[in-house]
Amino acid sequence: MTTEALDKLTTNIADVPCIGHRHADAFRRLGIRCVADLVLHLPQRYEHELPEQTIAAASEQISPLHGADANITLRGEIASLRWIPARRPRMEATLQDDTGAVKLIWFNSPWLREKIHPGLTVLVWGRAKRHGDLVQMVNPRWEAYDPDQPIVPRPQRHRPIYPASEELPSRTIERAVESVLDTALAQLDDHLHDEYRKARALPTLAEAYRMVHRPADADEPVSARRRLAFDELLLLQLAVMLKRRHRREAQRAVALKHNDAINAHITARFPFELTGSQSAVIHEIAADLQSTIPMNRLLQGDVGAGKTVVALYGLLMAVASGHQAALMAPTELLAEQHDASISQMLTGARVSIELLTGSQTLPQRREILARLESGQIDILIGTHALLTEIVQFKSLALAVIDEQHRFGVHQRARLRSKGNDPTTIPHTLVMTATPIPRTLSLTVFGDLDISTIRGLPPGRKPITTRITDQSKAEEVYQQVAERLNTAEQAFIVVPMIDESGRGLKDVNTHLEWLAGGFLRGRRLAAMHGRLDRDEREQIMSRFRAGEIDALVCTTVIEVGVDVPNASIMVIEHAERFGLAQLHQLRGRIGRASRHSLCVLLGDPTTKEAEARLKAIASTSDGFEIAEKDLEIRGPGELFGARQSGLAPFRVAQLPRDLDLLQMARRDAKDWIASNPTLGGQRDALLRRRLLKAHGQALGLGDVA
């Protein structure tokens, strides 16, 4: 193939000369399908290769005076060779040149016996250490060369090491990148104009990709990474600011009524006095709801902080203004819990509340939907069933979405479109008991105004959390039995519903084991997602009434279950759960004044799993846990497609790049203020790349 044929970044990877159709599938399995993907496949690190040198010079370099080891490149002849079939078999060779000799060792490489022989001239490179009086290199890379050919000494360089696979080593990827780089860079247009770029000391886009793939020194990858990370953050911030401006200036919501009489009427329904934090948040939400600018607010608060009451205040403002409201939850159990608790608080009120879930019969659903469309239902509580096309409100003024991270961007948008007036959209309140780390709150959540409930309702005591390995499980369940003797109740969480053959505890087997052992004679029950609604309601009603001593369950009880007498929780295989999930599960206890205990039974086999367990045991503060979760996992999962509809960043890393994020946010705000739609020739390329990157995920089709 000629160079001219590669003059498109969309060129198929199979058409790159050094790859061909034989290796193209291996590249595709790494997500590399065209030349552009190859350029976007960035090195994960670099190896500093020193210039080729003599063995004597290398030996001097790694003397005790100059450090313990070094990365060196040598050229010489294999003087001797032997295979040692020990417990850890190895090949040992002596490499020599005119100035000295070094020892080469390759472990578990029997195939080398067919490749290397005495008298072979080779180039070797890798880490070298001094072992006694002799310098040795372990598992060096090597290549043979013809001693009759002119020697071109290898220069010093920073060699890129790429994310690779067993079938596609970094060196192969490096050769492929090098074969297309110059031609590809010539095709790259920069979406940042020169004046803006130079004011922020950013290289051009083409230069950034050159520096990251072919750095001249150690500083160039740093500069390149800064430009590419900033690009990702700026495009996202521009998208968020576009969306925010569109909502505030181009969309309208119904302004709800609010006065002292309405406030007194609503708060009289609450079974307890609001905390100062709850009152402050209600004030923020009420102010939003009185405006025709659609509210788009995130309500975050720790497990048990009292978010439902705050949400109910907004729901009742909608009803008091003659409109309807909806509350959507991710699971039927949580929707049922909301329905039960809200109905209880509104006993005797002239407010019509209905529950809509996927498990209801068709006649039940039809009757509910008819009443909803006619305006006979004031508050509709439900699951994803609220999103179906047949669900229509007469006048939806407020949509509340609980545990918002479990719904995609498009699902949240569909709920907002349920009003019957095309000129308005409902106010939106999204809630989470998984606090958003401060850094992430500036990313996709930058379109949201954030309200935070801090602290717990009066009378609650901190939960003690203990990590215990599986060998002490019997002691743990003995302690559970002792708690049950004092009329307390327990949650026992396992990861599986059915026996899996993977060595993991499951609901039914574990319940039988407990019933025949430490909890013999106790009233036990199982709870999991496969039970139908009536059975779940019956079990939870009995548990709340104290008719069940211990509930053996899956994570179906992660949110929305409120049993004040439950004071001990055991989480089996705790290392398999995420940090936020562990915190949510733990939040099912500690809901009364008695001392509560959460025992994490687990045997972590990875550093990340061990870090999660230590983090959850170190604090009960959900905001601190959110920051720790970000540190442990990075933003990839926290800020991934499931939560935001957006792919993880390729280059930017949070919280490390917080300064770049803040700069991008300031610039994006100013940019949209001066050019609200990114119109005009100057910003045309920037606009196209923004829409390609985030248009679908953030629903920007009607914005830009």
* pLDDT-based confidence at residue 482 (cuts at 50, 70, 90): very high
| Percent of the chain's residues with pLDDT above 70 | 90
- 52 — phi, psi (to 5°)? -55, 140
- Fold of the domain spanning 260-290+306-432: Rossmann fold (3.40.50)
- Strands (DSSP E) contained in 411-480 are 427-432, 449-453, 463-468
| Cβ proximity of 10 and 36 under 8 Å | yes
Give CA separation, 360 vs 30, 88, 331, 385, 431, in Å.
44, 64, 14, 10, 25
Residue with tokens 């939907």: 369
Give CA separation, 686 vs 229, 248, 400, 623, 663, in Å.
15, 23, 34, 36, 17
| Cβ proximity of 372 and 365 under 8 Å | no
The burial class, CB within 10 Å (0-12 / 13-18 / 19+), for 602 is: buried
**How far is 342 from 562, CA to CA, in rounded Å?**
13
Average pLDDT over residues 625-645: 60
Task: Give the range with max mean pLDDT: 1-15, 54-68, 152-166, 637-651.
Answer: 152-166
**How far is 27 from 13, CA to CA, in rounded Å?**
8
Question: If one looks up domain 51-155 in CATH, what number appears?
Answer: 2.40.50.140
Average pLDDT over residues 576-585: 87
* pLDDT-based confidence at residue 639 (cuts at 50, 70, 90): very low
364 residue type, one letter: Q
Whether the per-residue pLDDT at 383 is higher than 70: the answer is yes
At residue 642, the 3 state secondary structure works out as helix
User: Under 8 Å CB-to-CB from 277, ≥6 apart: which residues?
Assistant: 301, 305, 452, 453, 454, 455
Q: For residue 115, give both structure tokens.
A: 């490749």
Q: Where in the chain is the domain with CATH 3.40.50.300?
A: 260-290+306-432, 463-619
User: Under 8 Å CB-to-CB from 333, ≥6 apart: which residues?
Assistant: 529, 536, 540, 556, 557, 560, 561
Nearest to 256 by CA among 288, 278, 282: 288
User: Under 8 Å CB-to-CB from 485, ≥6 apart: which residues?
Assistant: none
Q: β-strand 489-493 against 550-553: which pairing, if any?
A: parallel
**How far is 49 from 218, CA to CA, in rounded Å?**
11
Longest dimension (CA), the chain: 99
**How far is 558 from 589, CA to CA, in rounded Å?**
11
Whether the per-residue pLDDT at 554 is higher than 80: the answer is yes
Whether the per-residue pLDDT at 279 is higher than 90: the answer is yes
**How far is 672 from 621, CA to CA, in rounded Å?**
37
Average pLDDT over residues 220-234: 96
Select the more confidently predicted residue: 292 or 650: 292
CA 303, chain centre distance (Å): 20
Tell me what pLDDT residue 559 has.
59
CA 129, chain centre distance (Å): 40
Q: What is the mean pLDDT of the chain?
A: 86
At residue 34, the 3 state secondary structure works out as strand
The burial class, CB within 10 Å (0-12 / 13-18 / 19+), for 352 is: middle
Average pLDDT over residues 161-173: 90
* pLDDT-based confidence at residue 5 (cuts at 50, 70, 90): very low
**How far is 123 from 170, CA to CA, in rounded Å?**
18
Q: 295-347 pLDDT, tens per residue?
A: 989 898 877 778 889 999 999 999 999 999 999 988 888 888 899 889 999 99
Whether the per-residue pLDDT at 699 is higher than 80: the answer is no
Average pLDDT over residues 245-259: 90
CA end-to-end span of the chain, whole Å? 40
DSSP character at residue 70: E
| Percent of the chain's residues with pLDDT above 90 | 51
**How far is 476 from 470, CA to CA, in rounded Å?**
9
Residue with tokens 């005119």: 98
Tell me what pLDDT residue 643 has.
45
Whether the per-residue pLDDT at 66 is higher than 50: the answer is no
Q: 388-427 pLDDT, tens per residue?
A: 768 889 999 999 988 755 555 555 566 666 666 777 889 9
Tell me what pLDDT residue 693 has.
85
Residue with tokens 């390759």: 106
**How far is 72 from 515, CA to CA, in rounded Å?**
65
140 residue type, one letter: P
* pLDDT-based confidence at residue 122 (cuts at 50, 70, 90): very high
78 residue type, one letter: I
Whether omega before 655 lies within 30 degrees of 0, making that bond cis, reads yes
Whether the per-residue pLDDT at 647 is higher than 60: the answer is no
Tell me what pLDDT residue 644 has.
47
At residue 167, the 3 state secondary structure works out as coil
As a three-state string, the secondary structure of 73-94 is EEEEEEEEEEEECCCCCEEEEE
Tell me what pLDDT residue 143 has.
85
- Alpha helices, H only, 516-657: 533-544, 579-586, 607-618, 622-633, 635-638, 641-644
* pLDDT-based confidence at residue 4 (cuts at 50, 70, 90): very low
> How many C-beta neighbours within 10 Å does residue 683 have?
18
**Triad 349, 355, 361: Cα angle to 5°:** 140
Whether the per-residue pLDDT at 2 is higher than 50: the answer is no
Residue with tokens 């780089």: 181
CATH architecture of 463-619: 3-Layer(aba) Sandwich (3.40)
Q: For residue 577, give both structure tokens.
A: 């759960």
Average pLDDT over residues 205-209: 97
> How many C-beta neighbours within 10 Å does residue 333 have?
24
Select the more confidently predicted residue: 220 or 114: 220
Tell me what pLDDT residue 620 has.
81
* pLDDT-based confidence at residue 641 (cuts at 50, 70, 90): very low
**How far is 297 from 404, CA to CA, in rounded Å?**
11
**How far is 26 from 31, CA to CA, in rounded Å?**
9
Average pLDDT over residues 588-592: 82
Whether the per-residue pLDDT at 179 is higher than 50: the answer is yes
DSSP codes, 79-139 = EEEEEE-SSS-EEEEEEEETTEEEEEEEES-GGGGGT--TT-EEEEEEEEEEETTEEEEES
Tell me what pLDDT residue 520 has.
94
